[in-house]
Structure 1
């Protein structure tokens, strides 16, 4: 073969390699641009109006993710048709996260827990977000966060409010969850469209069924009632599975759909720059150690009372994980407790 033909063949091979690499680079650029646009859209919808800041473009080749340990308040609200616009929180959790140890702890607060603030009337725990929302919905998130932080003597950094639609849609997107349903569950309410019909045992549940599983409290069709403790256990079981599945998510379309769901159904006071960083780096930040904190409770109509020592220990665990020593500042007298 002549030198000319060898060079022609080599040039064709190099050209082919160049085209493949070029296509790959373009593909990566499109992927990154698509996710950036999806993330930015989601952030614009999630951020509470009082905290909206101009969104900066992400830094190129940023290898480290700077996230400080923190405690945040997670609230789940039901905005389905037929609910009458009630903003009571059906789910209320205190969550600590330590990115250095990749660990997180959850403490579910019973929705009927008696709270005794000095500045407001004593009510159930699920009342106070609705109170602040009705008073001023634009300030509901920061005011509720401050309320619980002062009430408990706990440094709560942020609050996240999720519509229950986010749970149902996310579970469907993940292909369902395998859940060990702990009891038969039957309940129907034609006013808000609730229809729960689950059998005890290990099974694959879709989004609606998972939502029914975590929300089930009482029955009007002969099945046993569910305590707040059991509901809290279910909520944490579901959160663990969702975090695990999201951490293994691959593909631009999958993450694009997740971001759409989050943007439509989540509100928070977390700054936009932080949200952007966390969403882009979720696989790196996903906790590897998840700790469910349990507090014994007692139902004395119309309130739930929790064991004082259990509550103290749980709040101290949250503080320690977040790098805060606050045992001496906890305000347990503001909570309905029993020894």
Structure 2
């Protein structure tokens, strides 16, 4: 047998080492990718609605809702149909007292065909007047239903707002504020245009908002301050609802864009951990899997935040009736629903009318 020359022996050894290293790396990546798929399934199982019983229909109000479209008909097997949501943010941070009040509440309509979404932010202090429940602020009702029956709380909250606002809601999604903070940190921060100096302190829950006006990259804590800022006790001006809506749009758009560019499996690993620990929804597992596997197709290219004119009359915020009707009908259009007159809107939501211009002119001196 002919002995290998020294140069060829070194080359063969290097090739064997490289092949062994590459094979080990492929094996590790394969194991990790498999674990990531398992982790994604585990995350979906944690946040999705529990499977409905196979034999009998549930008596819970949510039993039929995931099976119905926004128009009220049976949901077709169509990945491009519009989807409507009630999005809620709960503050369970240390020092918040463990409240279940929904400090952020949004109605959303997503149209995969047009790659567009419209969102309406409902002020947390908006007066809400359900027929069978006492009048309270908008952020009260999820906690109310949860204390009655935590299993049906999302379904009951969703159904109540569907009925009151004449806007059929397919799904509800809840995120803990701490989850938003962690998600932004996992994404490396968000770059936004801070529209004003923001200063607010609250020693009771540890809030210490201190942001300066201008374009900057915010970490998770700062982003949470940015989207929550409403008033100041340290000399800066208070925020209007329209300004808060614009800030929320900036953050949501940044998060959606960054998730769409994720390529590294380690990035998704961190995100899945955060989502699993901080998000709850009544969306069925099979739908969540479909949406996650086709995230780029589901992600809207345009997100429209709908303005809502309001005024404060302690202890409630009241919505301009015409402004609220217009916003709700814009959501209905995005969801491919016909316009609604919503004649009983003032009976269920605290509203005020736009002053009649002719009447104002006649009464002027």
TM-score, normalization by structure 1: 0.85
Distance 1:28 1:118, change over 3 A: same
> Which residue of the partner structure matches residue 169 of structure 1?
182
1:151 aligned onto 2:139: no
Q: Determine the structure 2 residue equivalent to 1:276.
A: 289
Larger radius of gyration, structure 1 or 2? Answer: 2
Q: 1:336 aligns with which of 326, 350, 355?
A: 350
Q: How does 1:277-292 map to 2 (within 5 A)?
A: 277-292=290-305
1:140 and 2:140 are equivalent in the alignment: no
Which has the higher mean CA deviation after the structures are superposed, 123-132 or 306-315?
306-315
Equivalent in the alignment of 2:321:
308
From the superposition, tell whether residues 105 and 51 of structure 1 become closer, same or farther in structure 2 (CA, over 3 Å).
farther
Q: What residue number does 2:274 align with?
A: 261
- Structure 2 match to 1:82: 95
Note the alpha carbon deviations across 1:216-266, whole angstroms, 9 max, x for none: 122222222223332222112211111111111111111121111111100
Whether contact under 8 Å (1:188, 1:194) holds in the other structure is yes
Residue of structure 2 equivalent to 1:97: 110
Unaligned segments of structure 1, at least 5 residues: 1-11, 54-63
1:106-128 Cα offsets, whole Å, 9 max, x none, are: 11111111111111111111111
CA contact (8 A) 1:50 1:139 kept: no
Pick closer, same or farther for the CA change 1:106–1:52 going to 2, 3 Å: farther
How far off is 1:269 after superposition?
A: 0.3
Distance of aligned partners of 1:50 and 1:298 in 2 relative to their CA distance in 1, 3 Å threshold: farther
Matched-pair contact (CA < 8 Å) for 1:50–1:138:
no
Give 1:186-201 correspondences, 5 Å limit: 186-201=199-214
Distance 1:178 1:137 in 2: 37
Tell me if the contact between 1:111 and 1:228 (Cα under 8 Å) persists in the aligned partners: no
1:9 alignment counterpart: none
User: Contact conserved, 1:293 with 1:314, CA < 8 A, in 2?
Assistant: yes
- SS of 1:254's equivalent in the other structure is helix
Structure 1: 4+ residue segments shifted above 6 A: 18-28
Structure 2 gaps, min length 5:
1-11, 55-76, 354-365
Match of 2:228 in 1: 215
Following superposition, the deviation at residue 32 of structure 1 comes to 5.1
Equivalences, count: 315
Secondary structure of 2:312's aligned partner: strand
Q: CA RMSD in A?
A: 2.8
Higher RCO (C-alpha under 8 Å, 6+ residues apart): 1
1:179 to 186, 192, 214: 192
Query: Could you report, residue by residue, the CA deviation over 1:260-301 in whole angstroms, capped at 9, with x for unpaired residues?
Result: 111110000000111111122212211112111111111122
1:318 offset after TM fit, Å? 1.1
